[in-house]
Amino acid sequence: MLDLNYIRKHPEEVKKAAEGKHDHADVDRLLELDGERRGLMHESEQLRQRLNEASKEIGRLKKEGKDASAQMSEMKDVSKNIKGYEEKLRRLDGDMKEILLAIPNVPAPDVPAGEDESANERIRSWGEKRGFSYTPRPHWELGVQLDILDLERGAKISGAGFPLFKGPGARLERAMFNFMLDLHTDKHGYKEVFPPFLVNRASMIGTGQLPKLEGDMYKTAGDDLFLIPTSEVPITNIHRDEILDHKQLPLCYTAYTPCFRREAGAHGKDTRGIIRIHQFDKVEMVKFVRPETSPDQLESLLSDAEEVLQLLELPYRVQKLCVGDLSFAAHKCYDIEAWAPGVDRWLEVSSCSNFTDFQARRANIRFRDEDGKVRFVHTLNGSGVALPRTVIALIENYQQADGSVVIPKVLRDYMGGADVIWS
């Protein structure tokens, strides 16, 4: 959520930012309500002042043994009017908050202009695409041949978009997230948590999924709980409505969770294989930092995610997202895309975002600085990294002519010492 003072000072910038993100920000209506609210506040304060004066006058008259009935009658009328103003202010506050929650974050100055992903800026690439003496097979063919992926039985159990991994495929998923958790905790300094997979509405609002993206979420009936679309949601809300000490910052957490998304806006896209599915595994990294450090912390977060791909020896590229491809809550974002030769595509396996104080204002996450001033933290998060697209890239890059898949060296201990998956 943006600071209301910022919107007052930069209304056109906020409108332009929302338009660039393909959102609508009802800034004019917000400022109209804000003006009305400030007028009511002024009138209410004047009535409170009159109430205080009347109370003093009544006390003086009673002390002098004089009749104070007229003043008491007036005080009742003033109190009634104050309650009326308070009710109007509550309604205005609710209307204003509804508008504020629908206004997206403002992009950073160095975010490229552009309508969609075609305008994203290439930052760097790592690794070389492997040459094949044959046409590389896509992961859905390899998965069936190796008996490690069963989409038909997954669909029978739950529906399309819910894959079933089997044997070495299941172990590969487990090996991947254990490897990543060990890397982020042992080398990168994150604290591991294992959060709930269901969250309440306040948590979803706090990170910006609601109200905008409710149609993409899986919701339980009767209790208003949501299956998490990413562990960013429960991790960020660990410190909702808290005031941290500046000595605690930065706070860095990592977690493995399954993630659940309806992908309501992506009907008909990537229907083959497991590129776009409704349930997937992911290791997430979340940071709570001082505002002045968040730009550097984003670069550090990106580096932590990149190291996963480097250790797996998978070719990848880093893209800085343009305004039109930037998420609702993000101020700046990098995507990491791994090369998948079987589908002949770059696949997004991580997004690393700086949200500045946008989420912190929604979730009321603050810290007390050295001078005792209470300020909002900045939050960042990044996939470190997401499965199964990384598994897709791994299987397709490490496939052999005989149909086997070589296991990257860094994963072999996690795979019980195995160095290849055979059919």
Do the beta carbons of residue 257 and residue 282 sit within 8 Å? yes
Can you give the pLDDT at residue 8?
Answer: 97
Q: Find out whether the peptide bond into 286 is cis, omega within 30 degrees of 0.
A: no
What pLDDT does residue 71 have? 76
Select the CATH number that applies to the domain covering 4-101 from these four: 1.10.287.40, 3.40.190.80, 2.60.40.1180, 3.40.50.1000: 1.10.287.40
How many whole angstroms separate alpha carbon 247 and alpha carbon 82? 43
Burial tier of 95 (Cβ tally within 10 Å: 0-12, 13-18, 19+): middle
- Measured CA to CA, the distance from residue 284 to residue 309 in angstroms comes to 15
Position 54 scores a pLDDT of 80
Structure confidence at residue 261 (pLDDT): 96
Which residues are within 8 A (CB) of 38 and not within 5 positions of it... i.e. 6 or more apart? none
Residue ranges, the chain, pLDDT below 50: none
Residue 243, Cβ neighbours under 10 Å: how many?
Answer: 13
First-residue to last-residue Cα distance in the chain:
52
204 in Cβ contact with 319 (< 8 Å): no
Per-residue pLDDT of 140-159, as tens digits, reads 999 999 999 999 999 999 99
| Predicted pLDDT at 223 | 93
Among all residues, which ones are annotated catalytic?
261, 276, 348, 351, 389
Question: Helix axis angle, 389-397 relative to 168-182, nearest 10°?
Answer: 110
pTM > 0.85: yes
Instruction: Report domain extents, the chain.
Output: 4-101, 117-421
The H or E element that residue 377 is part of is none
Q: Is 111 helix (H, G, I), strand (E, B) or coil?
A: coil
Q: Could you tell me which CATH class the domain 117-421 is placed in?
A: alpha beta
pLDDT at 130: 96
Q: Computed from CA positions of residues 322, 325, 330, 334, in that sequence, does the dihedral angle turn out positive or negative?
A: negative
**Residue whose tokens read 């309806």:** 262
- Contact (Cβ atoms closer than 8 angstroms) between residue 418 and residue 403: no
**12-60 confidence digits (pLDDT tens):** 999 999 999 999 999 999 999 999 999 998 998 888 888 888 888 888 8
